[in-house]
C-alpha cells in the first residue's frame, strides 16, 4: 500500500530549484517531496489530503547552517550577558546589556534567585568592546557576590571575566603571576580577566564553565534543536566536536527520536590524535550515520582568530603591528590528512581565518590532490575571512568550496577596520561577491554560539554589510537577496555534499521546509534579518516555533 | 625550589625533530625516577608492550612508576589531574606540539604554584632545521621555538653531511646566542644531563674535586667553595654560554649568612633559599655534554669575587 500523500498549499513557495523556481503547492509522502507546482500539477500523484495550514505562509527549503556548534544550546544553561538582544530556546528574548552596570544588575538578579550558597554563577556573551573597551574587573563582579564564584565567558570565546572568589578558588589570588593571559592590577593581583585557553581553563571548572561537560550535553543538544526550529533551520553542522563515544551515542539516540526537529552534521575535530587515527575514526563514524545524524566528516584548525590576533596573516600583518598569530596544525599534518581523506572519500573542512592560513591550506591541498586525484571532493575552507581574489581563483581551480563568516562584518567589523587588518582589508573580509563572481561554491555562517544562529540574519549581513555604527564595510562585496537565499539553502548543502538530498524543494528530496510569515524577496533588503519565522517542516514532520 | 614543587621540563621542537624518540628514551632509562609525561597525542609513541602496566584512553601506566598522559588541547586540565595524584611523580615532562610554543606552555605551567619550570629543551633536526628556519610558513614559528630554548638538542647529527652540519651549527649559534646547544644521535641524551637526575649521587661519589664519566658523552664534576658568595651572581656566571655547562646544582652560603640552593639549566639559572646548612654546603656539581668540563675556567669563576 502506498503511504498517504499530503499536499500543502502556500502563499508562495521559493524552491531554489532553477528549473521550477516557484510553486504554490508541495506534495509530501512520508519524509520526502513528491513534487512542487500548482495543485493541478500535483493531483496526478493520486489520493491526497490537502493541508491548508500554510496557505498564508511562504515556504522555502529548510535552511542549512553550515557552521554552527550545538554548544549554543548548552550556553543557555547560563546567564546571557551579551550586548545584543538574543532569543533563548524557549523563545524569550533577553535584552542586550548596554553597560557594565546592566551586566552586574542581571547577575544580581540571578544571585537573588539562587539565594544562599556557594554554587557558581556562570554567564556568557559579554562583549566589553561595545562599552568602549573597558575592563570588566573582579571588583565589578564582586558587587554581585563575594561568596559565590562568578565567571562570564566573553562573546569571542577567548576571554573569561571572573570575580575575586573565583580567583581565590583557582589559587590565583596572589602576587607574582607572570603570564600574558593574566593581566594584573596596581597591587599586582589579577584583574579578573583571564585571556586565552590556558588561563581560562584554570578558572573554568570553578565557575561552572567546564568545556568538557559540553560535548555530550543532552539537555543542551535538545535546546539547540529548539533554536533551529525558531530560525527555520532543518539541517545544522556541529562543526568541531571531538566526538567521544558517549557524545556519539547521545546524538544517535536523541536524533533518532520521533520529534527531534533537526538533522545534525557533526564534524570530527583533529585534536589529540594522529592524522591516521583521525581518518580511521572518521571512517568508523561514517558507518554509524543515519539520515538525522550525518557522521564521518572531518574538521581541522589551521590557525586562530583575527580579533584574538592568533590568525596567521600574510605580509604586512596586523594593522596595529601585533605579531603574527599561531599555527594550530603543521603543513605536514594538513597534507597527510588531505591525502588520506581523498583516498578514503572523506570530506574535510579546514578552519582558516587569516589569509596566510588560507594560502597554506591551498598549497597543501594542491599537493595532496596531485597525489590522490578525486573529482568533486568538496573540501571546504571555513571562515576564510581574509581571502583575496587570487585565492578565490585558486579555490575555483582546485574545486575548493568556501563558507564565509558574514556575521563578522556586523559583530567585529569596526574592530577589523580600526585595529586588526585596517580599512582596505576589512572591506574585502568575507568577500561573498568575489566568491560568486569567481565561481567558488559559497555558504555563509553564524559560528553559533560565537554569534547567534539565524541564517536570515547572516544573509542580511552578506547583503547589507553594515556595522552597528551604520558603516557599510565593503560595498563591492555585497550580494543580492536572491544569491543570499540560495547560499543559506542549496549553497550550504553543497559544501556538506548533501545538495542531492536537501537545500531545494523538488521531487525526491527531503521534505524540509522553512515556514515563513514574510516573503524575503518582497521586503526591503534592510529588513531581511526581520523575516518572521513560523517554524519548519523537517522530514515531513511539522514543528511550529510557538510550540517547540 | 622547595620540596613540594614538581620540576617540569618542556620539550619543544618541530615535527620529526625527535621529541617522541627522546621521550621513549627517557622512559626506558628512567631507572627508578618516577617520570610523568604529558604528550599531545599518543600517536607513534612505541612504548614496549612489556613496559605497559595499564592503558586507557588518556593514560598509559608504565612499569617502575612512570606514566604518560595525552592532553589533547587541554593542558591545564591534565596538569590539574596530575596535581591530584596521591603519589606525585619526581619530574614532569611536557611535550609541545610540532607548532607549539614551549615558552607559552612554560608560562601556563607557572600559573599553578605546585609546578616549577626546570628548563625548556627544544629539539632541532640537524638535517632540516636550517631549511625549516627559512620556510615561508614556518620561519617565525621555528624561531620562536628556538628562542625559547634553554637547551637546544641538535638531533640526528649522524644523518647530516659534515658541511651541512657545520652550516647548521653556525646558524643555530647565531640564532640562539645564549642557549646551550648539545648534539645527539637518536635523541640519546642521558637523564642526568636533561633532567638532573642523580646529581646528588655525584655528590656522594665525588670526594672533593671529583670527576665522573659514567657515560661516554657527558661528564660530571664536583667543585667546592670555602667562602660565602652572592648566589645569584655565581649562578648567572655559571650559566654563561662560554662555560659550556648544561646543568649545575650547588649549595652555598651568601655573605648575609643565608643558605641558598643554586641551579642552572642551559642559559636558565635560579636561586632559592635553602632551609639550613647541609652536608653539601659549599659543593657545586657541574655537568657537560660532549665537551669536557673546563675545570680551570669553573674554578676561576668560583673563586672570583661573587
| Distance separating alpha carbons of residues B136 and B127, to the nearest angstrom | 18
| Distance separating alpha carbons of residues A435 and A456, to the nearest angstrom | 19
B42, closest residue in chain A (CA to CA): A273
DSSP character at residue A487: I
CB contacts of B75 in chain A (<8 Å) are 198, 201
> Whole-prediction pTM value?
0.93
Portion of chain A with pLDDT greater than 90, in percent: 93
Q: Are A307 and A154 in contact (CB under 8 A)?
A: no
pLDDT of residue A157: 86
Q: Which pLDDT tens digit goes with each residue over A448-476?
A: 999 999 999 999 999 999 999 999 999 99
Whether B99 and chain A come into contact, CB under 8 Å, resolves to yes
DSSP character at residue A430: T
Structural domains in chain A plus CATH codes: 79-208 (3.10.310.70), 213-538 (3.20.20.140)
Q: How far is CA A533 from CA A62, A94, A390, A546, in A?
A: 11, 18, 38, 10
Identify the H or E element spanning A267. Answer: strand A263-269
Whether B59 and chain A come into contact, CB under 8 Å, resolves to no
Q: Are A368 and A342 in contact (CB under 8 A)?
A: yes
- CB–CB contact A171 B113 (8 Å): yes
> How many residues in chain B?
306
pLDDT of residue B209: 45
**Of A286-300, A495-509, B213-227, which gets the smallest average pLDDT?**
B213-227
Can you spell out the DSSP letters for A79-123?
Answer: EE--SS-EE-TTSPEEPPP-SHHHHHHHHHHHHHHH-SS---EEE
Q: What is the pLDDT averaged over residues B174-195?
A: 91
The set of residues, in sequence order, having a beta carbon less than 8 Å from that of A62 and lying 6+ positions away, is A232, A233, A234, A235, A489, A502, A510, A512, A513, A514, A536, A537, A538
- CB–CB contact A274 B111 (8 Å): no
pLDDT-derived band at B207, boundaries 50, 70, 90:
very low
pLDDT of residue A195: 92
Whether B77 and chain A come into contact, CB under 8 Å, resolves to yes
By C-alpha distance, which of A520, A539, A536 is closest to A231? A536
DSSP character at residue A169: H
- CB–CB contact B137 A177 (8 Å): no
CB-nearest to B107 from A179, A277, A312 is A179
CB-nearest to A332 from B15, B40, B76 is B15
| Distance separating alpha carbons of residues A109 and A115, to the nearest angstrom | 10
A280 CB burial (10 A radius; 0-12, 13-18, 19+): middle
| Distance separating alpha carbons of residues A173 and B291, to the nearest angstrom | 46
- CB–CB contact B99 A329 (8 Å): yes
| Distance separating alpha carbons of residues B278 and B255, to the nearest angstrom | 17
**Of A91-105, A366-380, A385-399, B203-217, which gets the smallest average pLDDT?**
B203-217
- CB–CB contact A212 B70 (8 Å): no
Identify the H or E element spanning A28. Answer: strand A22-29
Mutate to test the interface with B, among A205, A272, A315 (most CBs of B within 10 A): A272
| Distance separating alpha carbons of residues B118 and A95, to the nearest angstrom | 50
3-state class (DSSP) for residue A455? helix
pLDDT-derived band at B54, boundaries 50, 70, 90:
confident
Q: Which pLDDT tens digit goes with each residue over B110-143?
A: 999 899 999 999 999 999 999 999 999 999 999 9
Mutate to test the interface with B, among A157, A198, A358 (most CBs of B within 10 A): A198
- CB–CB contact B15 A273 (8 Å): no
Q: What is the pLDDT averaged over residues A39-51?
A: 97
Grid coordinates given for A151: 565567571
| Distance separating alpha carbons of residues B249 and B116, to the nearest angstrom | 16
CB atoms within 10 A of CB A321: 7
Q: Is the pLDDT of residue A504 over 70?
A: yes
Q: Are A388 and A362 in contact (CB under 8 A)?
A: no
The set of residues, in sequence order, having a beta carbon less than 8 Å from that of A499 and lying 6+ positions away, is A490, A493
Mutate to test the interface with A, among B19, B68, B73 (most CBs of A within 10 A): B73
State the span(s) of chain B assigned CATH 3.30.1220.10: 199-303
Beta-strand relationship, A121-126 and A79-80? parallel
| Distance separating alpha carbons of residues A260 and B300, to the nearest angstrom | 79
CB atoms within 10 A of CB A430: 29
| Distance separating alpha carbons of residues B143 and B43, to the nearest angstrom | 25
Q: Is the pLDDT of residue A388 over 50?
A: yes
The set of residues, in sequence order, having a beta carbon less than 8 Å from that of A245 and lying 6+ positions away, is none
| Average pLDDT of chain A, as a whole number | 96
pLDDT-derived band at B205, boundaries 50, 70, 90:
low
Strand partners, A92: none
- Distance (Å) from the C-alpha of residue A357 to the closest C-alpha of chain B? 9
> What's domain B199-303's architecture?
2-Layer Sandwich (3.30)
pLDDT-derived band at A210, boundaries 50, 70, 90:
confident
Q: What is the pLDDT averaged over residues B264-288?
A: 88
Q: What is the pLDDT averaged over residues A471-497?
A: 98
Whether B83 and chain A come into contact, CB under 8 Å, resolves to no
pLDDT of residue B105: 96
pLDDT-derived band at A268, boundaries 50, 70, 90:
very high
- Distance (Å) from the C-alpha of residue B206 to the closest C-alpha of chain A? 38
Q: Which pLDDT tens digit goes with each residue over A194-207?
A: 998 889 999 998 99
By C-alpha distance, which of A452, A454, A431, A418 is closest to A532? A454
User: How would you classify residue B208: left for phi > 0, otherwise alpha for psi between -120 and 50, otherwise beta?
Assistant: left
Q: What is the pLDDT averaged over residues A37-47?
A: 97
Q: What is the pLDDT averaged over residues A398-418?
A: 97
pLDDT-derived band at A1, boundaries 50, 70, 90:
low
Strand partners, B32: none
pLDDT of residue A135: 86
Q: What is the pLDDT averaged over residues A537-546?
A: 98
pLDDT of residue B204: 66
pLDDT of residue A319: 97
What is the phi/psi pair of residue A42, to 5°?
Answer: -100, -20
pLDDT of residue B210: 47
CA angle A190, A194, A195 (to 5 degrees): 130
**Fold for the domain defined by B6-192:** Rossmann fold (3.40.50)
- CB–CB contact B75 A179 (8 Å): no
| Distance separating alpha carbons of residues A438 and A431, to the nearest angstrom | 11
- CB–CB contact A201 B72 (8 Å): no
pLDDT-derived band at B2, boundaries 50, 70, 90:
very low
Can you spell out the DSSP letters for A35-87?
Answer: EEE-HHHHGGG-S-EEE-TTTTSEEEEPEEEEEE-THHHHHTTSEE--SS-EE
pLDDT of residue A214: 72
- CB–CB contact B43 A277 (8 Å): yes
- CB–CB contact A178 B101 (8 Å): no
State the span(s) of chain B assigned CATH 3.40.50.300: 6-192
CB contacts of B76 in chain A (<8 Å) are 197-198, 201-202
Q: What is the pLDDT averaged over residues A492-501?
A: 98
pLDDT-derived band at B211, boundaries 50, 70, 90:
low
A170, closest residue in chain B (CA to CA): B112
Q: Is the pLDDT of residue B285 over 90?
A: yes
CB contacts of B137 in chain A (<8 Å) are 312, 327, 331, 356, 360
C-alpha count within 13 angstroms, C-beta hemisphere, residue B109 = 26
| Distance separating alpha carbons of residues B295 and B211, to the nearest angstrom | 10
pLDDT of residue B208: 40
Q: What is the pLDDT averaged over residues A428-440?
A: 98
Portion of chain A with pLDDT greater than 70, in percent: 99
ipTM computed for the complex: 0.89
Q: Is the pLDDT of residue B261 over 80?
A: yes
3-state class (DSSP) for residue A170? coil
CB contacts of A271 in chain B (<8 Å) are 72-73
A277 CB burial (10 A radius; 0-12, 13-18, 19+): middle
CB contacts of B112 in chain A (<8 Å) are 171, 202
A56 CB burial (10 A radius; 0-12, 13-18, 19+): exposed
Q: Are A289 and A255 in contact (CB under 8 A)?
A: no
pLDDT-derived band at B290, boundaries 50, 70, 90:
confident
- CB–CB contact B40 A179 (8 Å): no
Grid coordinates given for A143: 558587587
Q: Which pLDDT tens digit goes with each residue over B82-118?
A: 988 888 899 999 999 999 999 999 999 999 989 999 9
List residues of chain A with CB under 8 Å from any CB of chain B. Answer: 171-172, 174, 177-182, 197-199, 201-202, 205, 211-212, 242, 271-274, 277, 312, 323-324, 326-333, 356, 360
State the SS3 of chain B: CCCCCEEEEEEEECCCCCHHHHHHHHHHCCCCCCEEEEECCCCCCCCCHHHEEEECCCEEEECCCEEEEECCCCHHHHHHHHHCCCCCCCEEEEECCCCCCHHHHHHHHCCCCCEEEEEEEEEEECCCHHHHCCCCCCHHHHHHHHHCCCEEEEECCCCCCHHHHHHHHHHHHHHCCCCEEEECCCCCCCHHHHCCCCHHHHHHHCCCCEEEEEECCEEEEEEECCCCCCHHHHHHHHCCHHHCCCEEEEEEECCCCCEEEEEEECCEEEEEECCCCCCCCCEEEEEEECCCCCHHHHHHHHHCCC
Amino acid at each position: 500500500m502506498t503511504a498517504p500523500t499530503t499536499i500543502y498549499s502556500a502563499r508562495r513557495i521559493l524552491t531554489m530549484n532553477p528549473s521550477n523556481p516557484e510553486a504554490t503547492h508541495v506534495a509530501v509522502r512520508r519524509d520526502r517531496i513528491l513534487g512542487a507546482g500548482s495543485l493541478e500539477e500535483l493531483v496526478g500523484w493520486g489520493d491526497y489530503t490537502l493541508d491548508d495550514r500554510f496557505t498564508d505562509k511562504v515556504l522555502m527549503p529548510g535552511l542549512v547552517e553550515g557552521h554552527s556548534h550545538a554548544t549554543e544550546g548548552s550556553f543557555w544553561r547560563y546567564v546571557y550577558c551579551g550586548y545584543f538582544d538574543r532569543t533563548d530556546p524557549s523563545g524569550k528574548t533577553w535584552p542586550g546589556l548596554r553597560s557594565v552596570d546592566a551586566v552586574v544588575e542581571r547577575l544580581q538578579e540571578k544571585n537573588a534567585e539562587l539565594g544562599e550558597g556557594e554554587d557558581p554563577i556562570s554567564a556568557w556573551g559579554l562583549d566589553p568592546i561595545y562599552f568602549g573597551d573597558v575592563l570588566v574587573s573582579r571588583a565589578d563582579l564582586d558587587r554581585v557576590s563575594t561568596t559565590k564564584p562568578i565567571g562570564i565567558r566573553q562573546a569571542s570565546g577567548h576571554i573569561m571575566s571572573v570575580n575575586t572568589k573565583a580567583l581565590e578558588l583557582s589559587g590565583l589570588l596572589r602576587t607574582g603571576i607572570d603570564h600574558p593571559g593574566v593581566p594584573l592590577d596596581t597591587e599586582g593581583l589579577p584583574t579578573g580577566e583571564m585571556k586565552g585557553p590556558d588561563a581560562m581553563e584554570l578558572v573554568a571548572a570553578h565557575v561552572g564553565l567546564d568545556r568538557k561537560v559540553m560535548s555530550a550535553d543532552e539537555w543542551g543538544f535538545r535546546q539547540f534543536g529548539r533554536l533551529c526550529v525558531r530560525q527555520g533551520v532543518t539541517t545544522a553542522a556541529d562543526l568541531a566536536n571531538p566526538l567521544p563515544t558517549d557524545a556519539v551515542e547521545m546524538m544517535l539516540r536523541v536524533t533518532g527520536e520521533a520529534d527531534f526537529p533537526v538533522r545534525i552534521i557533526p564534524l570530527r575535530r583533529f585534536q589529540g590524535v594522529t592524522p591516521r587515527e583521525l581518518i580511521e575514526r572518521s571512517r568508523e563514524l561514517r558507518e554509524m550515520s543515519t539520515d538525522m545524524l550525518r557522521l564521518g566528516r572531518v574538521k581541522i584548525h589551521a590557525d586562530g582568530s583575527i580579533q584574538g590576533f592568533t590568525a596567521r596573516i600574510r605580509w604586512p600583518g596586523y594593522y596595529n603591528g601585533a605579531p603574527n598569530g599561531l599555527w594550530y596544525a603543521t603543513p605536514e599534518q594538513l597534507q597527510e590528512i588531505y591525502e588520506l581523506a581523498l583516498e578514503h572519500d572523506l570530506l574535510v573542512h579546514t578552519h582558516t581565518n587569516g589569509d596566510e592560513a588560507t594560502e597554506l591550506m591551498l598549497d597543501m591541498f594542491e599537493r595532496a590532490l596531485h597525489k590522490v586525484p578525486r573529482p568533486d571532493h568538496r573540501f571546504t575552507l571555513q571562515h576564510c575571512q581574509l581571502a583575496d581574489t587570487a585565492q578565490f581563483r585558486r579555490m575555483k581551480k582546485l574545486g575548493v568550496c568556501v563558507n564565509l563568516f558574514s556575521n563578522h562584518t556586523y559583530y567585529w567589523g569596526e574592530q577589523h577596520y580600526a585595529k586588526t587588518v585596517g580599512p582596505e582589508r576589512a572591506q574585502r573580509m568575507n568577500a561573498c561577491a568575489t566568491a560568486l563572481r569567481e565561481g567558488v561554491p559559497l555558504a555563509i555562517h553564524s559560528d553559533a554560539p560565537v554569534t547567534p544562529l539565524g541564517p536570515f540574519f547572516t544573509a542580511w549581513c552578506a547583503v547589507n554589510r553594515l556595522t552597528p555604527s551604520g558603516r557599510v564595510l565593503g560595498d563591492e562585496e555585497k550580494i543580492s537577496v536572491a544569491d543570499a537565499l540560495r547560499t543559506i539553502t542549496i549553497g550550504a548543502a553543497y559544501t556538506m555534499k548533501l545538495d542531492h538530498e536537501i537545500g531545494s524543494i523538488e521531487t525526491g528530496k527531503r521534505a524540509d521546509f522553512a515556514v515563513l510569515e514574510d516573503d524575503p524577496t518582497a521586503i526591503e533588503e534592510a529588513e531581511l534579518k526581520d523575516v518572521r519565522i513560523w517554524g519548519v517542516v523537517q522530514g515531513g514532520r511539522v514543528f511550529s516555533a510557538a510550540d517547540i | 625550589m622547595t620540596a613540594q614543587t614538581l620540576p617540569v621540563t618542556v620539550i619543544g621542537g618541530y615535527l620529526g625533530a625527535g621529541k617522541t624518540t627522546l621521550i621513549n628514551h627517557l622512559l626506558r632509562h628512567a631507572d627508578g625516577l618516577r617520570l610523568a609525561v604529558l604528550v599531545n597525542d599518543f600517536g607513534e609513541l612505541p612504548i614496549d608492550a612489556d613496559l605497559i602496566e595499564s592503558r586507557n584512553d588518556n593514560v598509559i601506566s608504565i612499569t617502575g612508576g612512570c606514566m604518560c598522559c595525552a592532553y589533547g588541547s587541554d593542558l591545564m586540565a591534565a596538569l590539574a589531574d596530575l596535581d591530584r595524584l596521591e603519589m606525585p611523580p619526581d619530574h614532569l615532562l611536557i611535550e609541545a606540539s610540532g607548532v607549539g610554543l614551549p615558552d607559552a606552555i612554560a608560562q601556563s605551567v607557572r600559573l599553578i604554584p605546585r609546578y616549577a619550570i626546570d628548563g625548556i629543551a627544544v629539539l632541532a633536526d640537524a638535517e632540516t632545521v636550517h631549511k625549516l628556519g627559512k620556510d615561508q610558513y614556518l620561519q617565525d614559528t621555528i624561531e620562536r621555538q628556538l628562542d625559547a630554548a634553554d637547551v637546544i638538542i641538535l638531533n640526528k647529527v649522524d644523518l647530516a653531511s659534515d658541511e651541512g652540519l657545520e652550516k647548521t651549527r653556525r646558524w643555530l649559534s647565531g640564532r640562539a646566542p645564549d642557549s646551550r646547544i648539545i648534539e645527539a644521535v637518536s635523541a640519546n641524551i642521558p637523564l642526568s644531563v636533561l633532567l638532573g637526575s642523580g646529581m646528588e649521587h655525584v655528590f656522594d661519589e665525588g670526594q672533593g674535586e671529583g670527576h665522573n664519566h659514567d657515560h661516554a658523552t657527558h661528564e660530571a664534576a664536583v667543585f667546592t667553595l670555602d667562602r660565602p658568595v652572592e648566589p645569584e651572581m655565581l649562578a648567572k656566571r655559571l650559566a654563561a654560554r662560554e662555560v659550556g655547562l648544561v646543568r649545575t646544582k650547588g649549595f652555598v652560603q651568601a655573605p648575609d649568612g643565608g643558605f641558598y640552593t643554586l641551579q642552572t639549566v642551559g642559559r636558565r639559572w635560579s636561586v632559592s633559599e635553602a632551609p639550613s646548612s647541609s652536608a653539601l654546603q659549599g659543593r657545586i656539581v657541574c655537568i657537560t655534554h660532549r665537551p669536557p668540563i673546563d675545570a680551570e675556567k669553573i674554578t676561576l669563576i668560583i673563586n672570583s669575587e661573587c
